[in-house]
């Protein structure tokens, strides 16, 4: 536990160093593509406290100066499965982005979709010593949360305090300075497989970069795609990626649940490949050009040249109608959405006051999805695109870049996590000088 705390602390320090240098790279390691953005921060003087809500919600503080995308290799289900291949792909993306930005970046903030994310809701409470909530009391109440046994092979990715309650008053954002006797908090914790993080860490280290932060792509896609009201009132963001579909539920501007379905656009492609007996590349091309999920009478007459690439050009001139293609794609998309529905039901999504669902990610671009999704997910579904950030190239503004864009917002304004608060002195290892200093500071 302390170990994790230290790693996350180190990453936060790294992020601070990157902010001071004003340059940080964003790396979205996805199953179908790897995107790298380079952000330049203009410095803290851009923020003015007097502005209240800052211009462009604080996004004017940074600017995207380099962007590059490359076909992902060696990633399956959002997890790295072939390390060398992934490393090469990351290198490609980083090099191209550096070339565009004409600067060298050393710090990178990464996100990935896989690793079987699992959510835990934790609660903890403490008695306040002097009746006023101090800084260290927040740290204490967070440490007082009861840790579930999430297994040895898991690592905590996010641990965000979601809600504070002071005596009988709940729903506090920031309890510091308030008077009360008993402080309680709710924390949302997200764990992923240790190996997934370790593999990513290894690849990034092999590229001479340093990891300044790590996030779940379901979470960052939610930040990018949900508008402020949706985040406040309760909404789910479904990030339909290549190999995994992430879903995150937000309420009161906090993520309270995240999960992922290990199916995505690549499965649709492989279905087409198998069904039409064509190579994967051709299947991908057919999917993006002619794909859809709702068949009409017009589609029976639309003939698609499949072109088997078997070498027998005279004989192998197969064609399919578009409705056949839709017939292959639709069951898989339905399966994904049904799986998502099941996860949402398991999370108790129907109890939220507002049940907005936002579909984003590359696979959400399938034509006709806005007709299919409401049948499975409920009436309040929309297809979302990530919000605009300054300097982002037009090519990188699509739904497929929700993760990358969300990560830029995450880099600029990270949410408070458990490790941002001071650990109470009894959590330090015994005989530590720091512990002695803490004890003095707490008691005088």
Distance, first Cα to last Cα, the chain? 28
Residue spans of alpha helices (H) in 257-386: 265-276, 280-290, 297-301, 322-347, 369-377
Closest distance of CB 103 from other proteins, Å: 6
State the Cα–Cα distance between residues 14 and 27, nearest whole angstrom. Answer: 15
Cβ distance to other proteins smaller for residue 86 or 355: 86
Single out the residue of 119, 252, 105 nearest to residue 173, CA to CA.
252
Cβ distance to other proteins smaller for residue 95 or 270: 95
Cβ distance to other proteins smaller for residue 38 or 190: 38
| CB-CB neighbours of 353 under 10 Å | 7
Closest distance of CB 307 from other proteins, Å: 13
CA angle, corner 84, sides to 79 and 85, nearest 5?
A: 70
Cβ distance to other proteins smaller for residue 70 or 425: 70
Closest distance of CB 90 from other proteins, Å: 9
Give whole-number Cα distances, 15 to 154, 215, 235, 263, 425, in Å. Answer: 23, 13, 29, 32, 25
Closest distance of CB 207 from other proteins, Å: 7
Q: To the nearest 10°, the Cα dihedral for 127, 129, 133, 136?
A: -100
Cβ distance to other proteins smaller for residue 99 or 182: 99
Cβ distance to other proteins smaller for residue 206 or 253: 206
Closest distance of CB 310 from other proteins, Å: 8
User: What's the distance, CA 358 to chain centroid?
Assistant: 14
Cβ distance to other proteins smaller for residue 103 or 376: 103
Give whole-number Cα distances, 400 to 84, 223, 367, in Å. Answer: 25, 14, 14
Tokens 């003015």 locate to 48
State the Cα–Cα distance between residues 175 and 184, nearest whole angstrom. Answer: 10
Cβ distance to other proteins smaller for residue 98 or 134: 98
Give whole-number Cα distances, 303 to 268, 278, 328, in Å. Answer: 20, 16, 15
Cβ distance to other proteins smaller for residue 171 or 311: 311
Closest distance of CB 314 from other proteins, Å: 15
State the Cα–Cα distance between residues 352 and 2, nearest whole angstrom. Answer: 34
Q: Residue 319: beta bridge partners?
A: 305
Closest distance of CB 125 from other proteins, Å: 50
Closest distance of CB 92 from other proteins, Å: 5
Cβ distance to other proteins smaller for residue 313 or 440: 313
Closest distance of CB 410 from other proteins, Å: 25
Burial 402-426 (b: 16+ CB within 10 A, else e): bbbbbbbbbbbeebebbbbbbbbbe
Closest distance of CB 91 from other proteins, Å: 5
Closest distance of CB 34 from other proteins, Å: 11
Note whether 356 and 382 are within 8 A (CB).
yes
Tokens 């009478």 locate to 297
Closest distance of CB 321 from other proteins, Å: 27
Cβ distance to other proteins smaller for residue 90 or 329: 90
Residue ranges binding other proteins (CB under 8 A)? 70, 88-89, 91-92, 94-95, 98-99, 102-104, 207-208, 309-311
CA angle, corner 415, sides to 337 and 125, nearest 5?
A: 95
State the Cα–Cα distance between residues 322 and 12, nearest whole angstrom. Answer: 50
Cβ distance to other proteins smaller for residue 104 or 434: 104
Residue 86, phi then psi, degrees to nearest 5: -65, -40
């Amino acid at each position: 536990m302390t170990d994790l705390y230290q790693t996350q602390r180190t990453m936060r320090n790294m992020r601070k160093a990157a902010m001071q240098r004003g340059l940080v790279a964003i790396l979205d390691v996805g199953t179908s593509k790897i995107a790298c953005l380079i952000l330049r921060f203009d410095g803290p003087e851009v923020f003015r406290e007097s502005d209240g809500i800052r211009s462009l919600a604080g996004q004017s503080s940074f600017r995207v100066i380099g962007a590059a995308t490359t076909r992902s290799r060696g990633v399956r289900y959002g997890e790295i499965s072939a390390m060398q291949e992934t490393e090469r792909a990351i290198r490609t993306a980083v090099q191209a982005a550096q070339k565009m930005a004409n600067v060298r970046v050393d710090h990178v903030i990464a996100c990935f979709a896989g690793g079987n994310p699992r959510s835990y809701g934790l609660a903890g409470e403490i008695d306040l010593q002097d009746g006023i909530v101090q800084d260290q009391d927040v740290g204490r109440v967070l440490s007082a949360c009861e840790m579930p046994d999430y297994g040895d092979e898991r690592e905590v990715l996010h641990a965000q305090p979601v809600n504070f309650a002071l005596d009988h008053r709940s729903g506090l954002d920031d309890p510091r300075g308030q008077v009360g006797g008993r402080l309680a908090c709710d924390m949302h914790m997200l764990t992923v497989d240790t190996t997934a993080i370790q593999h990513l860490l290894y690849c990034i280290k092999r590229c001479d970069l340093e990891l300044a932060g790590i996030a779940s792509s379901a979470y960052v896609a939610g930040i990018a795609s949900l508008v402020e009201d949706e985040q406040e009132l309760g909404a789910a963001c479904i990030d339909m990626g290549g190999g995994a579909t992430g879903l995150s539920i937000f309420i009161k501007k906090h993520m309270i649940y995240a999960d992922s379905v290990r199916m995505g656009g690549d499965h649709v492609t492989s279905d087409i490949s198998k069904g039409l007996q064509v190579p994967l590349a051709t299947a991908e091309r057919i999917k993006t050009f002619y794909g859809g999920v709702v068949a009409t009478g017009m589609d029976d007459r639309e003939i698609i040249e499949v072109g088997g690439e078997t070498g027998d050009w005279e004989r192998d001139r197969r064609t399919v109608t578009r409705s056949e293609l839709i017939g292959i794609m639709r069951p898989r998309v339905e399966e994904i959405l049904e799986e998502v529905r099941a996860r949402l039901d398991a999370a108790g999504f129907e109890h939220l006051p507002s049940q907005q669902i936002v579909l984003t990610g590359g696979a959400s671009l399938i034509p006709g999805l806005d007709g299919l999704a409401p049948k499975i997910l409920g009436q309040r579904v929309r297809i979302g695109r990530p919000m605009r950030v300054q300097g982002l190239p037009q090519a990188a503004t699509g739904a497929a870049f929700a993760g990358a864009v969300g990560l830029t917002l995450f880099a600029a304004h990270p949410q408070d996590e458990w490790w941002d608060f001071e650990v109470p002195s009894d959590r330090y290892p015994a005989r530590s000088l720091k512990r002695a200093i803490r004890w003095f500071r707490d008691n005088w």
